[in-house]
A and B are shown apart, each in its own frame.
Chain A
Amino acid sequence: MSAILQGAGAATALSPFNSIDSNKLVAPSRSSLSVRSKRYIVAGSDSKSFGSSLVARRSEPLIPNAVTTKADTAASSTSSKPGHELLLFEALQEGLEEEMDRDPHVCVMGEDVGHYGGSYKVTKGLADKFGDLRVLDTPICENAFTGMGIGAAMTGLRPVIEGMNMGFLLLAFNQISNNCGMLHYTSGGQFTIPVVIRGPGGVGRQLGAEHSQRLESYFQSIPGIQMVACSTPYNAKGLMKAAIRSENPVILFEHVLLYNLKESIPDEEYICNLEEAEMVRPGEHITILTYSRMRYHVMQAAKTLVNKGYDPEVIDIRSLKPFDLYTIGNSVKKTHRVLIVEECMRTGGIGASLTAAINENFHDYLDAPVMCLSSQDVPTPYAGTLEEWTVVQPAQIVTAVEQLCQ
C-alpha cells in the first residue's frame, strides 16, 4: 500500500484527478462508473469523444505497437536469446509440424487445412509434407468433422481440429460439449480425447458479428475441457505443442489480429505449461490480468501509466481454464489491486469467473474491489467506430487503473 502512495506521490502532476480533469475524453466513462457497479466496466461505455480518439488510434498499426511493448518488457523469456524470427502463424505452424514429426498419431483435420494451407496459413505446407490423410481437408460440416476427430482420438489418434473461424465451432457445440468434454467422464475414464481444437477468433477488423465471436465464455463451463489463449509467437508455439501432448481436450484460442506478430523464438525445442500464467511486466501498484489480444492494449496503457508514475504488474493469464491461481495470487498479495481486461463478453465471461476466483481465494489481500473491463454484450457491430467501442481500449485501462489506485 505504501508503495502505491509513493508511486502516486512521485507523480503528483499525473494524479488521477488531474488526469481526468485534463482529459475530457475519459470523463464520461468515469461518470458512468459512479453510477454502475464498480466491479465491471464495459468497454467504451457511452463516450462519443472517446471514439474519435480511437479513430485516430486506428491508424497506428497494431503490430509494431505490440512488438514494441513486448521488447520493452524485461520479463520476456525469449528476447535475449538467439533464435529465429517468426510471425505468430508461422510459430503455430512450426509447433504443429514439430509435433507431427515427433508423433505419427498427430493429424490435422478441418476446412481448407490441406491444399489451401489453412485460412490463416497455420497449416501451410503440411499436406505436402505429411500427405492428405494426415492433413485432412474436410467438407464443410463442423459438427461431423469435430465428432470424427473425437472418434479418432478415442481410437488412438491425436487430431488437431481447426475451426476455419472459431465462430464456426458453434456448429460443433454438441460434439465439443457432450463428447469432447464429457465422454472421458461418462466412460468412467476409459476413453481419453486428446484433441486440440483451435482456430482464429476474437474481434477482428470489421468482420461482422458472426466472424467476430468471443467464445471463451461459451466454452468455459463445459466440464473436462481445458482452454488456453496464445498471444505471442513464443507462447503460440509452446502452447500448441503442449496442447497436442496433453491427454485432455484443449481449446487453443488464437486471435485473428495477432497472426502477424513477429518475434524471435528459440531455435531449440521448448514447450509451454498449459496451466501457467505468464508474467509480462512485473510491477508493484496493481495487477492487470489479461489474455490474447487485450495484452497489447494493456501494454499500450501500461506505457502511459508508467509515464504517469504507476508501476502496473501485467500478467497474461494464458490458461483460461483452469486459472493459474498461484501466479495470480502471488501478484494479488503483492499489489492488493486487480484489474481484469478481457475481450470476452461481460456476462458470464472469463473475467467474471476470474473475479469470483480471486474474491474466493484472495479476498483478504484486496484493498479494492476487483475491477473487470470486458467488451460490450453486443453482437460485434460491423461499423469501425462501433466495433472499436465494443472492445476495451487502452484509454479505459488507464482510467480504470487510476481509479483503482486512488
Chain B
Amino acid sequence: MATAFAPTKLTATVPLHGSHENRLLLPIRLAPPSSFLGSTRSLSLRRLNHSNATRRSPVVSVQEVVKEKQSTNNTSLLITKEEGLELYEDMILGRSFEDMCAQMYYRGKMFGFVHLYNGQEAVSTGFIKLLTKSDSVVSTYRDHVHALSKGVSARAVMSELFGKVTGCCRGQGGSMHMFSKEHNMLGGFAFIGEGIPVATGAAFSSKYRREVLKQDCDDVTVAFFGDGTCNNGQFFECLNMAALYKLPIIFVVENNLWAIGMSHLRATSDPEIWKKGPAFGMPGVHVDGMDVLKVREVAKEAVTRARRGEGPTLVECETYRFRGHSLADPDELRDAAEKAKYAARDPIAALKKYLIENKLAKEAELKSIEKKIDELVEEAVEFADASPQPGRSQLLENVFADPKGFGIGPDGRYRCEDPKFTEGTAQV
C-alpha cells in the first residue's frame, strides 16, 4: 500500500521551476497518459451513440495511475509524524463537522442550501495546511471545510450556519458565504466562477505589494472551484490574466465529476481540465484528489512556484463527493457502483492506513484525535445553540462600509446619525 503513496514528483516529467524556457509550453503530468480521465473520451463517445447506456462512471481509479509509478525509491516518507497528525486532524475535523451539519440541518437548526464536503477533504487539507495565515483562500458555496482548514474556528463556522451573531459573518453570510478577514478567508462565493476573479485580485494585490509598494510580500492565493466552473468564462478569463501578469495564484479544480446532476463528461468537450493550464501558458497538473499526500506534494510545488514569483498553476484534483450536491439533493442520479467505488477510496481511511503502515502513528493516537475532534464539534454546536440571534439593530449595519453611505436625510443630518438607524427602525 505504501507504494501507492509513492512520491509524485511533478518534476518527473518537466520541472515546474528551473530555467527551461519552454517549460510552460509542455504539459505537465504526474504520469504518462493513462487510463484516467483522458481515456474516458472513447467511453463518452460511445455513450453518445448509446444514449441509454448505463450511468456507470467510466472513470478509472486513480490508483491505477499510481501503479504505473510504482518505482524504486520510496524509502523516504512524504511527511513527518507531526505533519501526518496535523493532516489527519484537519481531515477528521472536516468530516465530523460536515456530518454534524447534516444532523443539525435535519434537526432544523440550520436552513437554506448546505453543501457538504465529505469525500473531498484531501484537497482542502492538502493545499490549505501548506499555507501561511497571510495567504488567501477563495472558496465556493462548498466552503465550510476550506474555512476550517484555514483556521476559522468550528464555533464561528457552526454559529454562522445557525445564523447567530457569533458566526464568522455575524449570521449575515450563511453556509455559502464564509468569510474571515483575520484568516484571509476571502469567501464563500455562491455563484459559479465568481470567486475566481476575486482570487485573481487578491493575487494581484500580492504582486502589487511587492512591486509597487516595495513590501516584503510573498503571499499566495489559492482558488478552489469545481469541474462545473471550468466551463465558465470567468475561469478562462482569469487563467489568462493570471498567466499574463504572472500572479501568485493556484487554481485548484475539485473535480468531483458531477455538477449537481450534470456529469462532467456530458458537460465538457475535453474532460481533462489540467490541459487548460498549458493552453494559457501555465503548468497544468493532474492529481489524485483522494490522496492527501499526493495533493500536498503537488501543492508544495505550485505554492513554492507562486511564492517565487513564477506565476500561476492549474491543478486538477480528481475527487468525489460522498453526499448529494447539497442536503436538498436526493442524489438519485449517480450510480451506486460509482459511489461505492469512491467510498472505498475514502481519503481519510487512506491516510490512516499510510500513517499506521509507515509507523508514523499508532491507532490509539488517531483515535484520540478523533475523540478530540468529536468533542470540539459537539462543543461548537453547543456554543452555536447557546449564542444569541442577531438583534434588530444589526439589520442595517454593514450595508455600507463608509457610515455616510445612507446619505443626508430630510433633517439635514447624515441618516446614519439617526439614533433609530442602528435599531433597524429608521426609514431608509
Are A and B physically bound partners? yes
Please give the distance in Å from B188's CB to the nearest CB on chain A.
7
Task: Write the nearest CB–CB distance from A209 to chain B, whole angstroms.
Answer: 23
With A and B bound together, what is the CA distance between A175 and B213 in angstroms? Answer: 26
> Which A residues lie within 8 Å of B174 (CB)?
186
In the assembled complex, B273 has its CB within 8 A of some CB on chain A: no
Bound Cα distance from A175 to B47, whole angstroms: 37
> What residue in chain A is nearest B179 (Cβ atoms)?
A187
A174 and B410 form a contact (CB under 8 A): no
Q: A276-B408, A326-B410 are in contact. Are A148 and B212 (CB under 8 A)?
A: no
Known: A184-B398, A186-B177, A275-B404. A151 touches B199 (CB 8 A): yes
Q: Which residue of B lies closest to A328 (CB)?
A: B410
**Pairwise interchain contact B201-A246, C-beta atoms closer than 8 A:** no
Q: Is B82 an interface residue (CB 8 A)?
A: no
Write out the residue numbers on chain B whose beta carbons fall within 8 Å of the beta carbon of A148.
197-198, 200-201, 204, 238, 241
Question: Which A113-136 residues have C-beta < 8 A from chain B?
Answer: 131, 133-134, 136
Q: Which residues of chain A are within 8 angstroms of B241 by Cβ–Cβ distance?
A: 138-139, 141, 144-145, 148
Using known A-B contacts A141-B237, A151-B204, A274-B404, determine if residue A188 contacts B169 with beta carbons closer than 8 Å.
Answer: yes
Question: Judging by beta carbons under 8 Å apart, are A139 and B244 in contact?
Answer: yes
Q: A192-B401, A223-B399 are in contact. Are A156 and B205 (CB under 8 A)?
A: yes
A187-B181, A188-B172, A191-B186 known; A175-B407 Cβ under 8 A: no
* 9-residue interface stretch from B1-9, B94-102, B328-336, B411-419: B411-419
Closest CB in chain A relative to B229 CB, distance in Å: 13
Q: Is the CB of A151 within 8 A of B400?
A: no
**Contact flags A319-358 to B (C-beta < 8 A → 1, else 0):** 1011111110100000000000000000000000000000
B 375-386 binary contact with A (CB < 8 Å = 1; else 0): 000000000000
In contact, A325 and B194 (Cβ under 8 angstroms):
no
Bound CA span A325–B426, Å: 15
Does B23 have its Cβ within 8 Å of any Cβ on chain A?
Answer: no
Contact B408 A327 (CB under 8 A): yes
Q: How far is the CA of A184 from the CA of B186 in the complex (A)?
A: 11
Would you call B173 an interface residue if the criterion is a C-beta within 8 Å of the partner chain's C-beta atoms? Answer: yes
A151 touches B198 (CB 8 A): yes
Chain A contacts for B401, CB-based, 8 A: 184, 189, 192-194, 247-248
Q: How large is the interface on A (under 10, 10 to 19, 20 to 34, 35 or more residues)?
A: 35 or more
Q: Which of B204, B397, B415, B427 has the most CB of A within 10 A?
A: B204
Contact between A133 and B211 (Cβ–Cβ < 8 Å)? yes
Query: Known: A152-B205, A184-B401. Contact between A326 and B412, CB under 8 A?
Result: yes
Count, chain B residues at interface, CB 8 A: 66
Q: Which residues from chain A contact B410 at a C-beta distance below 8 Å?
A: 325-326, 329, 361-362
Choose among B173, B233, B406 the residue that contacts A186 (Cβ–Cβ < 8 A): B173
Cα A226 to Cα B186 with chains together (Å): 22
The interface residues of chain B lying within 8 Å CB-to-CB of A252 are none
On whether the beta carbons of A153 and B201 are closer than 8 Å, the reply is yes
Which residue in A144, A323, A326 is a CB contact (below 8 Å) of B238? Answer: A144
Closest to A319 in B: B407
Question: Are B408 and A248 closer than 8 Å at their CB atoms?
Answer: no
Across-interface contacts of A145 in B (CB, < 8 A):
197, 237, 241
Q: Is A104 an interface residue (CB 8 A)?
A: yes
- Quote the shortest CB–CB distance from A160 to chain B (angstroms): 14
- Do B398 and A189 touch (CB < 8 A)? yes
Docked-complex contact B172 and A104, CB < 8 angstroms: no
Residues of A within 8 A of B186 (CB): 151, 154-155, 191
Could you tell me the distance in whole angstroms from the C-beta of A278 to the nearest C-beta in chain B?
13
B398 engages A188 (CB within 8 Å): yes
CA A348 – CA B241 in complex, angstroms? Answer: 36
Nearest CB in chain A to that of B240: its residue: A139
Cβ of B125 < 8 Å from any Cβ of A?
Answer: no
CB within 8 Å of B: which A300-325 residues: 319, 321-325
Bound: A88/B414 CA distance, A: 29
> Do residues A325 and B179 form an inter-chain contact, with CB atoms below 8 A?
no
Residue from A147, A188, A226, A329 within 8 A of B234 (CB atoms): A147
Q: Are A185 and B399 in contact (CB under 8 A)?
A: yes
Asked if B167 is at the interface of the complex by the 8 Å CB criterion, the answer is yes
Do B402 and A248 touch (CB < 8 A)?
Answer: yes
CB distance from A102 to the nearest CB of B (A): 14
In the complex the two chains form, what is the Cα distance from A362 to B409 in whole Å?
12
Q: Is B202 an interface residue (CB 8 A)?
A: yes
Interface pair A190/B180, CB less than 8 Å apart: yes
Chain B residues contacting A327 (CB-CB under 8 Å) are: 408
Q: List chain A residues, Cβ under 8 A from B177.
A: 186-187
Closest chain A residue to B235 by CB distance?
A144
Scan residues 169-211 of chain B and give those whose CB is less than 8 A from a CB of chain A: 169-174, 177, 179-181, 184, 186-191, 194, 196-209, 211
Selected contact of B205 from candidates A157, A187, A361, CB within 8 Å: A157
Cβ-defined contact, A190 with B179, below 8 A: yes
CB distance from A325 to the nearest CB of B (A): 5
> Closest A-chain residue to B239, C-beta based?
A144
In the complex, chain A residues whose CB is within 8 Å of the CB of B201: 147-155
**Best-surrounded residue of A178, A184, A192, A324 (most CB of chain B within 10 A):** A184
- Chain A residues whose CB sits within 8 angstroms of the CB of B200 once the complex forms: 144, 147-148, 151
**A175–B237 touching, CB < 8 Å:** no
Least CB distance, B395 to chain A, in whole angstroms? 10
14 other A-B residue contacts (CB within 8 Å) besides A144-B233, A190-B169: A105-B213, A141-B237, A147-B234, A151-B138, A151-B203, A151-B205, A154-B201, A157-B204, A178-B189, A187-B188, A189-B398, A190-B180, A325-B408, A362-B410
Q: Which residues of A contact B (CB under 8 A)?
A: 104-105, 107, 131, 133-134, 136, 138-139, 141, 143-157, 174-175, 178-179, 183-194, 223-224, 226, 246-248, 274-276, 319, 321-327, 329, 360-362
Provide 18 A-B residue pairs closer than 8 Å at the C-beta atoms, listed in order of the A residue. Answer: A104-B212, A134-B208, A138-B241, A143-B233, A144-B237, A147-B194, A151-B186, A151-B199, A151-B201, A178-B194, A186-B179, A187-B173, A187-B187, A190-B181, A192-B401, A226-B402, A322-B408, A323-B407
Q: Which 3 A-B pairs have the closest CB atoms?
A: A151-B201, A147-B197, A322-B407
